Every structure is written in C-alpha cells, then in structure tokens.
Structure 1
Amino acid sequence: MELSLRERQKERRRTEIYQAAIALFKECGFDNTTASEIAEASGVSRGTFFNYYPYKEAVLLDYGSAVVQRLQAEAEVQLAAGKAPLEALYDVWNLLADENTRERDLFPPLAYEVMNPNPERAGAAYRALQLSRVVEVILTPVQQAGELRSDLSLARISNLIADTYLLVALRWSAYGTGRSLHDELRLSLDLLLSGALKR
C-alpha cells in the first residue's frame, strides 16, 4: 500500500531526526548529547523531537533494529546459498562484532534499555532488538536435522544465545577485556553451542 504524502513527510522527518541524532552521538557521545541539540541539528522543535522519539534512547532502538534486520537478511541469503547453518551463525556473530567494535560507544546505552527498570521501555527495547529471532532462523535447519537437544525448545536456545551475546558485548563495550570482541563472542558461542548440540 502506497503511503500518503503526510505519511511520507513524517517518515522523512523521522529519518532526518534519526540521522542527526546518530551523527551527534558519534561526534559528542551519547551522554553528552541532549534532545534539544538533536532537535536543533535536525531543524525541528524540541517538542517535535519528542513526538517522534519519546526519550533519547528510543533513537538507539531504531539503530539496533536496523542492525538486526541487516543481520537477518544476511543470514537468510547465506542459508539460501547453501552455507552450513553454524557457519552462517558464526558469520553473523562476526558481523555483530564488527558493528559493535565500530560503534562501541553506542552499545552500552542501547543494551541498558533492554534492562531498563521501566517495563514499557524494556519491552520496547526487546521488541526492537529481536536478535533471538535471527538465531532461531539460522538454527531451524539444525533442529530439523535432529542435531539440537530436544529437552530445550529452539526459542529457548535462541534466547540464551542472544542474551549471552548482549551481556558479553556489553561487558566488552563498557569495560574492555584483553581480547577482541570477535574473540570474546566466538568463545561464548563455542561454549553455548557445545551445550546446545547433541553429542
């Protein structure tokens, strides 16, 4: 269905606000950027900013959602091309590590939203960041081949893998470790898969 002119204008304005906000977050840091500065940079009033994004962190949910959508598209392309599912999962994890390494300062406030004590905000973050769905898409053929444990559901295994990614990447982004994020994520995925696959 084609969008009306008004809807297209709203989408364009949201995109402009989003792009201005992300540029400021990268230039000045998330914590140092105010809603007023985002509004000014995108040529709208502060009130208009809040019409599109009810709180500053909501901008990051759009960013995270776009990353997850790209990952799912990549996973589906790889699986359709015949790549082994576990290889595709490691490839997706490497793409995540690339993104988090490149945008290291954006990740902690994004991850904290998933754990926000406000249930509405935590719910919005969970719905925006459906990484477990990407994992489930990749592991579905593994389950169909009878290679996953049968005492845990595919959804539970996928959630555990996605949740572990979140915590490992958050710890690395906020505090750093002696290893690269690629190595940290590969190590955690190795460990999780060793418990999820049938022996």
Structure 2
Amino acid sequence: MDLSSLRERQKERRRARIYSVAIELFKRGGFQTTTATDIARASNVSRGTFFNYYPYKEAVLLDYGSEVMDRLRDHAEQRLLDGVPPLSVLYEVWDLLAEENSRERDLFPPLAYEVMNPNPERARTAYQALPLSKVIELILRPLHQSGQMRPDLSLQRISNLIADTYLMVALRWSAYGTERTLQEEMRLALNLLLEGALKRDSSRS
C-alpha cells in the first residue's frame, strides 16, 4: 500500500470516528448543547481537525441524513424489483422515514433547517445531501410513464412538492407535536397530495 492511499484510509477512519462520536453526543446530550469542542475532545482530535472534516456542526447531520436517504433508496429499488406496486412502496418509504424521524426527534429540526439555510451554499449542500425528492421520483416514475399521473405536471415537480410537504409537516410535528403520530400526520398529507397528483378517472367526473 502506497503512502497516499494509507493517508486516505487514515482520514476516512478519522472522519468516521468523528461522525459516530458526534451523533452519539447529539443523541445523548442534544444537538444544540453539544459543541464542536465537545465532539473534538470526545473524538481525541483538535478542534481545528474537527473543522477540517466538518466546516460547521450541522454538516455532521448531513452525513446522517445522507445515510438515511441511501437506506430509503435501497429499500425502494428492491421493493420495485420485487414487483410491489409503486404507491405501496411510497407509503412504505413514507412510514420508514417517519419512524426514523420519530425515533431521532431532536436531530430532525436542525437537519431540516439546513435545507432552508439563508446561506445559499449551505442550503445547496443540504439539498444535495438529502435527495428525498429523487427517491420519490424513482418510485413514481413507473406511474408517470404509464400515464397514471397528471400530464400537466412534471414528475420532478410532483416529487419536489411531496418532498417539501414532508419537510414542513415533520418540522411542525417535531416542534409542536399533535394528537396524531408522525406516521399518521404523514399519511394524511400524502393522501391529500396523491389525490391531486394522480390522473382522475374521466368516467367518474
């Protein structure tokens, strides 16, 4: 193994350690109260080293969110290959995401706020790390191609609208809570969105 590849592997291991320590600290003590210094100290690195890997604390959450999105995409792809109807797959993914957000309720708001960060570069980075709309697009593509969705709306636009709705409903639930579970809130929102996105049966109108 040459020296440069050894250095790269060391960097990857250090980043993985910083990430796992940071997520553990966020879960145990809360995101807002955990500082970069806390993470660096627990990871046995300097504060400067932490910022070499993560330019701001919220960037750690983007890695977490990216992992969640990868799992959802893998699930969706496998279920579609298994012949499960796209809408059933979408509801499965919706429920899995709601379960994750419910379990990690304190991590979701700061992660979601990054997508709406007033700094355009940070907002763009967050959007790229959390491609929920791309997962939804993957699931709905068979319906769109077979003409079961409204022809006046592009698949990308429908997928973006569903993803944006998830973000806002989950944020409101995380901040204020309701008498319903997040899964119930999400299914209600998805039902309403799909009613508007699916092509109407002309015989019923």
Q: TM over 0.5, yes or no?
A: yes
Q: Which amino acid aligns with 2:119?
A: N
Structure 1 residue runs of 4 or more that deviate by more than 4 Å after TM superposition: none
> What's 2:96 paired with?
95
1:69-148 equivalences under 5 Å are 69-148=70-149
Q: In 2, Cα distance between the equivalents of 1:144 and 1:158?
A: 14
Q: Which amino acid aligns with 1:160?
A: L
Q: In 2, Cα distance between the equivalents of 1:174 and 1:110?
A: 13
Q: In 1, Cα distance between the equivalents of 2:10 and 2:136?
A: 35
Structure 2: any 5+ residue segments left out of the alignment? 201-205
Structure 1: any 5+ residue segments left out of the alignment? none
Q: In 1, Cα distance between the equivalents of 2:171 and 2:135?
A: 19
Q: In 2, Cα distance between the equivalents of 1:188 and 1:37?
A: 39
Q: In 2, Cα distance between the equivalents of 1:31 and 1:40?
A: 17
TM-score (norm 1): 0.98
Cα RMSD for the two superposed structures: 0.8
1:133-172 equivalences under 5 Å are 133-172=134-173
Shift of 1:144: 1.2
Q: In 2, Cα distance between the equivalents of 1:89 and 1:146?
A: 18
Q: In 1, Cα distance between the equivalents of 2:77 and 2:10?
A: 32
Q: In 2, Cα distance between the equivalents of 1:77 and 1:174?
A: 33
Q: Secondary structure at the match of 2:148?
A: coil
How many percent identity over aligned positions? 72
Shift of 1:46: 0.1
* Correspondence 1:63 to 2:53: no
Structure showing greater Rg: 2
Shift of 1:41: 0.7
